[in-house]
Structure 1
Amino acid sequence: MAVLTVENLAVSFSQRGEQAEAVRGVSFSVEPGRTLGIVGESGSGKSVSLLAATGLLGPDALVRGRAVHQGIDLIAADRAYLRSIRGKEIGFVFQDPQSNLHPLIPIGRQIGEAITAHGRVQRAQLRARVLELLDEVEIPRAADRIDDHPVHLSGGMRQRVMIAIAIACNPGLVIADEPTTALDVTVQASILSLLERLRRDHGTALVFVSHDLAVVSDIADDVLVMRDGAIVEADSARSVYTAPKSAYTRSLLAAHRTLGRPSAERSNQERSALLRVTGVTKSFRTRAAPLLGGVFRRSASLGIAPVLNGIDFEIGAGEIVGLVGESGSGKSTIGRIVAGLDRPDAGTVSLGAKTYITPGSGRAELDAEVRRSVQVVFQDPYGSLNPRRRISEILAAPYRLAGHPREQSRHEAEALITRVGLPADFLHRYPGQLSGGQRQRVAIARAVALGPALVVADEPASALDVTTQDHILALLRNLRDESGTSLLFISHDLGVVAAICDRVLVLREGVIVEQGPTGTVFAAPRHDYTRLLLESVPGRRRREAVDV
């Protein structure tokens, strides 16, 4: 018997007095001990469908259809009943644990609240249960970490706490909405393994929502593919991945094949070195966590934490070099130093014959030529674009700063937005009126406006669905091919790096442990850490098993 059965679900939202349809005719079911993967691009209706089915949408949503759980239609149920089963019968794991965990409450107390919300438990029993849950989700030294605050935990450990909250009352159904997005491959693999073990040990039904077909392939028994609010394909995972019926599913799988295999290597002709990073070392001063007790007090310094240790590498003219490694390995710190946004403790960075970064210099000391020649594209297009400025103003700003007349800057902005594949009428919009992929195109356009020699791209595709990722990578390749711009491409996603980079640097704990042509490193890695990263790439087991 299915744990949850959704029948002919439709969702629309009220906008300016009219109803905008977001989901239509969605039907599916999930059985005990099985995992249903729901995949699709951003805006396809994946999350909206599940929020609607569990009564979590706001009052502006009109929901029709049925969502039957234990014989009760959740869509018709009252709020009191829904509150009584959320957490107890249906657990939730959301995408961003940092936003969903209270920053000022210890993790043990937050897990305990998920239990006491559904019944009274003696203090000793509650603590024992919380420790049991922390052990089950593999938080090391649970007794020592139970009183830690979320800020003391890594992203992967915070997600484990979210999973502990979700399973605290042994629910029959767990809904995991993008639980591994933005996690590096080894942490992602461990979270998938944890969810699979919990499903197997407890017989829990799991609904796993993701835009990443490769991730879903590692965990799902059945797969539902959504597009524009409707289901385009629903079948067993093996059938979907080996014999997809929908052209849209085939296009998603084709995009994943592109991302999952090393790109054809460019000619090994000798390139002149554009960028040289020599002996770069960086440490950060660490401090204890602030004390709580009604007043925040400045804590005493704990000492120095080394981040980078003797980093050496070069980037040739017109070359794309990937920088990969786990979270905390120092990737973004290297990017910030190369871009002049941070200073090294030792070492230098040179562009051509000009050394522009030393231990005593940062971006404030850079001359205009270097500022123009080295640009940055950040990971979050939502945070890197000014929400109060129109796209036309954002794209005209580099030209205005370079001294171009206003009218000329406007025409250059029009040509620039067309160059990155966006309609000219987008110039009149604000960033909030664009999708994530469209915003990232604007960010790339701004970075390449003045023809830089080098662009530091820090996780520019990590939060985007696969087809949007493919478009962004194609855009970056075209910009390189057309203008000869070099890229330092920072990513935790080895599939993306394989699709775009000529060479790759593997960073671990602030040290480059391996480097070379991307195809060579990924096909025959020499270092154990590189092999570990490659073995953790999602979808690898499925591709090897069924030749997807």
Structure 2
Amino acid sequence: MALFSVEDLSVTFRRRGRVTAAVRGVSFAVEPGRTLAIVGESGSGKSVSLLAATGLLPETAEVRGSARFREADLLRLPRARLRAVRGRHIGFVFQDPLSNLHPLKTIGAQIGEAITAHERIGRAALRRRVIDLLAEVGIDDPERRIDDHPHRFSGGMRQRAMIAMAIALRPELIIADEPTTALDVTVQAAILRLLRRLQERYGTALILVSHDLAVVSEIADDVAVMRGGEIVEIAPIAEITTAPGHPYTRELLGAARRGAALADVAEPPAAAPREARPLLAATGLHMAYRRRGRKDPVTALTGVSLEVREGEIVGLVGESGSGKSTLGRIVAGLLRPTAGTVALRDEVYNAPGRGPLRLRRDLRTAIQVVFQDPYGSLNPRRTVAATLAEPYVVNTGLTAAEIRDRVEALVRRVELPPAVLHRFPAQLSGGQRQRVAIARAVALRPALVVADEPLSALDITTQAQIVALIRRLRAELGTSFLFISHDLGVVAELCERVVVLRRGRVVEAGPVRRVFHDPQHPYTRELLDSIPGRVARV
């Protein structure tokens, strides 16, 4: 018998007189102790369906249908009773724990609130219970970490804290909305193992929202595939992965297999010639930070060296905290190293020193950056046209008409419709925003682009489009890329060479095909074994 069932759910939004249908006729159910995965690309209605079913959408949403938890229809419960069900009987794990954790409250206080909202408990007993929860979800030294604030936790630790909050009252159902997105493969695998273990221990039902079939294949019993606000296919995971019935399911499955089956990955086409001359050379980089309350500096990089040739895409991989982004920021001239140098075409432009690095205009335009979160790196108050015009306004003497022509050509180059020029970032999808960020980075035809996790927040089909775009831009412009990612499948598909970082040190480097098919270092093998779906062979 179903613990939680949704029948003929429809959701429409009313904004400024416009009515938009987000979800149409969605039905699914999950039984105690089983896992239902809801998969689909961004905007398919996955999260909206669950938010609607649990009464978490704003008043601008009109929700029809039914959402039954045991015998109660959640869509018709009074607010007080609905709040009593959420938290106590239904726990939530959201995609971005940093946004869902209060930055000024300790982790312990926030987990404690999840308990005291539904129970009366003494202070000492509450603290003991929170410590036990932190230990249960795998937080080391919970007696000390209970008093830390979220910014002192890594991404994986913050997600574990969110899971502790979700299971605090032993709910019968956990809804996990993209719980592993933007986490590196080893942390991703650990979070999936944790959810599976908790489910087995308490018989909890689990609804897992994801854009990646490879991820859900590790844990799901049943899969509902959503596209355009509708469920196009729903079946047991074995049936979905061996005999998908809908073309879109086959498309998702193909993308998942490309990520998991690295044995089939060949060298990308149009690779940089082996005799191509070095473009970038980082030599002996060290980076240490001093933090309040700590006598000894925190070391982020130790003796790191790497090279990028003309027209080459080099992957930089490693788990969270390995130093990937720190290295990227040093290469981009946004940080000075504690020791070591970075040179572009044999000219050193970054070295130890005091104060911000001041680059000549030609060097500043020769190296550009694409950040992980395009919404955070784009000015929300500027249109796309204004954003893309800025590099030309600041660095060239072109007329307004010439800049307008360049911007229009730039939009076409990244395969965006001209209509986006008059829109603001909030009016674009995640994939469109990332295309705008890439367009801005290549506007002045840089020699090198540092792409720092540019795909981590995108669904798997959009990721494939951005990979194809980067490959085409490299071919058309001759631009080199330092591609920072935790997704080894993408790196295998896109890059010629790969550098593996662990705890600030290079542990392995070489051609992608050699490193991924004959890894020499145990950590590289661990990363490869952690790829979702690799063991299950989706």
**TM-score under structure 1 length normalisation:** 0.94
2:449 is aligned with 1:455: yes
Cα distance in 2, alignment partners of residues 116 and 372 from structure 1 = 54
Cα distance in 2, alignment partners of residues 242 and 433 from structure 1 = 38
> Do the aligned partners of residues 241 and 26 (structure 1) sit closer, same or farther apart at CA in structure 2, a change above 3 Å counting?
same
Contact 2:89 2:170 in 1 (8 A): yes
Instruction: Indicate which of 351, 358, 381 corresponds to 1:388.
Output: 381
Cα distance in 1, alignment partners of residues 311 and 190 from structure 2 = 37
1:471 counterpart letter in structure 2? Q
2:58 counterpart letter in structure 1? G
Alignment-derived partner of residue 271 in structure 1: 276
Query: What is the CA deviation profile of residues 336-390 of structure 1, one whole-angstrom value per residue up to 9, with x for unaligned ones?
Result: 1111111112111111132212223887421121112111111111011112222
Cα distance in 2, alignment partners of residues 489 and 105 from structure 1 = 35
2:505 is aligned with 1:531: no
SS at match of 1:399: helix
Cα distance in 2, alignment partners of residues 500 and 349 from structure 1 = 24
| 5+ residue gaps, structure 1 | 289-300
> Do the aligned partners of residues 346 and 145 (structure 1) sit closer, same or farther apart at CA in structure 2, a change above 3 Å counting?
closer
Query: What is the CA deviation profile of residues 177-216 of structure 1, one whole-angstrom value per residue up to 9, with x for unaligned ones?
Result: 1111111111111110000001111110000011121111
SS at match of 2:486: coil
Alignment-derived partner of residue 182 in structure 1: 182
1:152 counterpart letter in structure 2? R
2:254 is aligned with 1:251: no
Query: What is the CA deviation profile of residues 48-95 of structure 1, one whole-angstrom value per residue up to 9, with x for unaligned ones?
Result: 101111111111111100111120111111101101111111111111
Cα distance in 2, alignment partners of residues 109 and 334 from structure 1 = 35
2:349 counterpart letter in structure 1? Y
Instruction: Indicate which of 324, 331, 335 corresponds to 1:338.
Output: 331
SS at match of 1:63: strand
Cα distance in 2, alignment partners of residues 457 and 379 from structure 1 = 8
SS at match of 2:500: strand
Distance apart, 1:149 and its partner CA = 2.5
Distance apart, 1:398 and its partner CA = 1.5
* Equivalent residue runs for 1:1-150 within 5 Å: 1-150=1-150
SS at match of 2:369: strand
SS at match of 1:50: helix
Alignment-derived partner of residue 310 in structure 2: 317
> Do the aligned partners of residues 16 and 267 (structure 1) sit closer, same or farther apart at CA in structure 2, a change above 3 Å counting?
closer
Contact 1:341 1:362 in 2 (8 A): no
Query: What is the CA deviation profile of residues 22-43 of structure 1, one whole-angstrom value per residue up to 9, with x for unaligned ones?
Result: 0011000000110000011111
Contact 2:336 2:357 in 1 (8 A): no
Alignment-derived partner of residue 286 in structure 2: 281
1:406 counterpart letter in structure 2? A
> Do the aligned partners of residues 433 and 263 (structure 1) sit closer, same or farther apart at CA in structure 2, a change above 3 Å counting?
farther
> Do the aligned partners of residues 362 and 516 (structure 1) sit closer, same or farther apart at CA in structure 2, a change above 3 Å counting?
farther
1:106 counterpart letter in structure 2? T
2:49 counterpart letter in structure 1? S
Distance apart, 1:268 and its partner CA = 6.0
Distance apart, 1:150 and its partner CA = 2.2
Contact 2:272 2:311 in 1 (8 A): no
Aligned length: 532
Cα distance in 1, alignment partners of residues 220 and 406 from structure 2 = 48
Alignment-derived partner of residue 204 in structure 1: 204
Distance apart, 1:110 and its partner CA = 2.2
Instruction: Indicate which of 476, 483, 487 corresponds to 2:481.
Output: 487
2:359 counterpart letter in structure 1? L
> Do the aligned partners of residues 196 and 60 (structure 1) sit closer, same or farther apart at CA in structure 2, a change above 3 Å counting?
same
Contact 1:280 1:347 in 2 (8 A): yes
SS at match of 1:539: coil
SS at match of 1:286: coil
> Do the aligned partners of residues 150 and 362 (structure 1) sit closer, same or farther apart at CA in structure 2, a change above 3 Å counting?
closer
2:287 is aligned with 1:302: no
Percentage identity across paired residues of the two chains: 62
Instruction: Indicate which of 338, 353, 356 corresponds to 2:349.
Output: 356
Contact 2:9 2:63 in 1 (8 A): yes
Cα distance in 2, alignment partners of residues 245 and 423 from structure 1 = 32
Contact 1:283 1:304 in 2 (8 A): yes
Contact 1:339 1:363 in 2 (8 A): no
> Do the aligned partners of residues 247 and 29 (structure 1) sit closer, same or farther apart at CA in structure 2, a change above 3 Å counting?
same
2:243 is aligned with 1:238: no
> Do the aligned partners of residues 263 and 384 (structure 1) sit closer, same or farther apart at CA in structure 2, a change above 3 Å counting?
farther
Contact 2:107 2:149 in 1 (8 A): yes
Distance apart, 1:104 and its partner CA = 2.7
2:510 counterpart letter in structure 1? G
Contact 1:321 1:489 in 2 (8 A): yes
Distance apart, 1:541 and its partner CA = 1.7
Contact 2:217 2:237 in 1 (8 A): yes
Query: What is the CA deviation profile of residues 140-177 of structure 1, one whole-angstrom value per residue up to 9, with x for unaligned ones?
Result: 22223223322332221121111111111111111011
Cα distance in 2, alignment partners of residues 419 and 17 from structure 1 = 35
Alignment-derived partner of residue 391 in structure 2: 398
SS at match of 1:75: helix
Alignment-derived partner of residue 293 in structure 1: none
SS at match of 2:206: strand
Cα distance in 2, alignment partners of residues 263 and 378 from structure 1 = 27
Cα distance in 1, alignment partners of residues 363 and 259 from structure 2 = 33
Cα distance in 2, alignment partners of residues 121 and 348 from structure 1 = 57
SS at match of 2:284: strand
Cα distance in 1, alignment partners of residues 355 and 212 from structure 2 = 38
SS at match of 2:295: strand
Cα distance in 2, alignment partners of residues 306 and 20 from structure 1 = 50
**TM-score under structure 2 length normalisation:** 0.96
Distance apart, 1:276 and its partner CA = 0.8
2:426 is aligned with 1:423: no
Query: What is the CA deviation profile of residues 291-325 of structure 1, one whole-angstrom value per residue up to 9, with x for unaligned ones?
Result: xxxxxxxxxx6331111111111111111000001
More displaced 10-residue stretch of structure 1: 333-342 or 151-160:
151-160
2:534 is aligned with 1:540: yes
Distance apart, 1:267 and its partner CA = 6.9
Contact 1:287 1:303 in 2 (8 A): no
Q: 4+ runs of 1 displaced by more than 4 Å?
A: 361-364
2:138 counterpart letter in structure 1? E
Contact 1:263 1:501 in 2 (8 A): no
| 5+ residue gaps, structure 2 | none
> Do the aligned partners of residues 407 and 31 (structure 1) sit closer, same or farther apart at CA in structure 2, a change above 3 Å counting?
same
More displaced 10-residue stretch of structure 1: 181-190 or 122-131:
122-131
More displaced 10-residue stretch of structure 1: 130-139 or 177-186:
130-139
Alignment-derived partner of residue 518 in structure 1: 512
2:326 counterpart letter in structure 1? T
Contact 1:199 1:205 in 2 (8 A): yes
